[in-house]
């Protein structure tokens, strides 16, 4: 198993606040990894640094052997925790945009997923509900044949039924040679799909382990362990 993502001493400060502190992390290919931690633990900051949207204060990131830049953007399929399309864009133009910019994007797959969701491609983004917008973005992100999927809180703002749909979409559509990193604090919903977990607390990596290994050694589910580790 080769390494797709490597972080060395990764630190991000916002003024006096250290959001991420000296994170060392190595993630192999073909894994589904849960980046788990309570609110404010640094999950989103870490993912944003991986995407080059935040500049690290210290440390290095390597994705597929490259520092964040144009090469890594070809490898990474990123789902942010917000709507990132122009609200006036039609859904079909969003698909067109991904087709134009990403060589590994499969528009047929995207249209099929949108059809299964009952989304009219002629609708503008503005007219969709929050949940629908998230699903459109997820459909586009998962229609790429990426090496690394970085999904920031994909199930954060949706109802339990939609969570199942989203998780099934991820499992059914990701590139099996690739790696999926899912950040969330909703462990119980996501536990069943994870191979590995990374616990983040106050910007530091508290623990990294495989889910099976964790269950065997601790005799607890990841959710139970999470509640124990992050007990208030």
Partner 1 sequence: MLKNLIKYELRSTARIFLFSYLAMVAITVAGIVIRAIANTAGRNPVEHTVLSFAVLALVIAVIVVCVITLIVIILRFGRNLLGDEGYLLFTLPTTTDKLILSKLISGIIWCVAGCAVTVLCILLIGTVTGTNLDSLMNTLAAATGAGMNVGGYIAWFIAMAVISLASLILGLYCSMALGQHITKNRVTGSCIAFIIICIATQIITYSVLALMHITQRAEYGAKQVEAVMNAGSESAQLKVWVDFANGVFNSYSIAVTVMSAALGIACYAITRYLLKRKLNLA
From residue 79, alpha-carbon distances to 18, 33, 170 in Å are 24, 15, 11
**Nearer to partner 1 (CB atom), residue 58 or residue 101:** 101
Q: Which of residues 59-78 bind partner 1 (CB under 8 A)?
A: 70, 73-74, 76, 78
Binding residue for partner 1, selected from 43, 48, 135, 144, defined by CB under 8 A: 48
Strands 196-201 and 179-184: unpaired
φ, ψ for residue 60, nearest 5 deg: -135, 150
**Nearer to partner 1 (CB atom), residue 73 or residue 163:** 73
**Nearer to partner 1 (CB atom), residue 105 or residue 226:** 105
Q: How far is the CB of 206 from partner 1 (least distance, A)?
A: 25
102 contacts partner 1 (rule: CB under 8 A): yes
In this structure, the dihedral spanned by the alpha carbons of residues 72, 82, 163 and 3, taken in order and rounded to 10 degrees, is 20
Instruction: Answer yes or no: are the C-beta atoms of 152 and 82 closer than 8 Å.
Output: no
**Nearer to partner 1 (CB atom), residue 128 or residue 222:** 128
Q: How far apart are CA 110 and CA 97, in angstroms?
A: 12
Total number of residues binding partner 1 (CB under 8 A)?
24
Q: How far is the CB of 115 from partner 1 (least distance, A)?
A: 23
Q: How far is the CB of 70 from partner 1 (least distance, A)?
A: 5
86 contacts partner 1 (rule: CB under 8 A): yes
Instruction: Answer yes or no: are the C-beta atoms of 138 and 163 closer than 8 Å.
Output: no
Instruction: Answer yes or no: are the C-beta atoms of 113 and 98 closer than 8 Å.
Output: no
122 contacts partner 1 (rule: CB under 8 A): no
Binding residue for partner 1, selected from 38, 59, 89, 206, defined by CB under 8 A: 89
39 contacts partner 1 (rule: CB under 8 A): no
Q: How far apart are CA 97 and CA 61, in angstroms?
A: 28
End-to-end CA separation in angstroms for the chain: 37
* Binding site residues, partner 1, CB under 8 A: 48, 51-55, 70, 73-74, 76, 78, 80, 82-86, 88-89, 93, 97, 100-102
């Amino acid at each position: 198993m080769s390494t797709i993502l490597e972080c060395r001493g990764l630190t991000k400060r916002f003024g006096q606040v250290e959001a991420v502190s000296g994170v060392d992390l190595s993630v192999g290919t073909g894994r589904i990894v849960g980046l788990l931690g309570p609110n404010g633990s640094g999950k989103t900051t870490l993912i944003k640094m991986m995407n080059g949207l935040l500049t690290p204060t210290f440390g290095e990131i390597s994705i597929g052997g490259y520092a964040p830049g144009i090469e890594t953007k070809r490898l990474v399929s990123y789902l942010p925790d917000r709507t990132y399309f122009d609200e006036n864009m039609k859904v079909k133009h969003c698909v067109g945009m991904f087709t134009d910019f990403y060589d590994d994007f499969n528009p047929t797959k995207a249209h099929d997923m949108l059809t299964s969701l009952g989304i009219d491609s002629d609708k503008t983004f503005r007219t969709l509900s929050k949940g629908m917008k998230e699903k459109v973005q997820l459909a586009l992100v998962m229609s790429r044949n990426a090496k690394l999927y970085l999904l920031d809180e994909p199930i954060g703002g949706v109802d339990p039924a939609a969570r199942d749909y989203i998780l099934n979409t991820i499992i059914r559509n990701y590139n099996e040679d690739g790696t999926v990193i899912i950040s969330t604090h909703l462990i119980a919903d996501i536990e069943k799909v994870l191979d590995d977990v990374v616990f983040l607390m106050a910007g530091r990596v508290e623990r990294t382990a495989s889910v099976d290994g964790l269950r065997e050694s601790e005799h607890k589910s990841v959710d139970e362990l999470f509640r124990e580790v992050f007990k208030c």
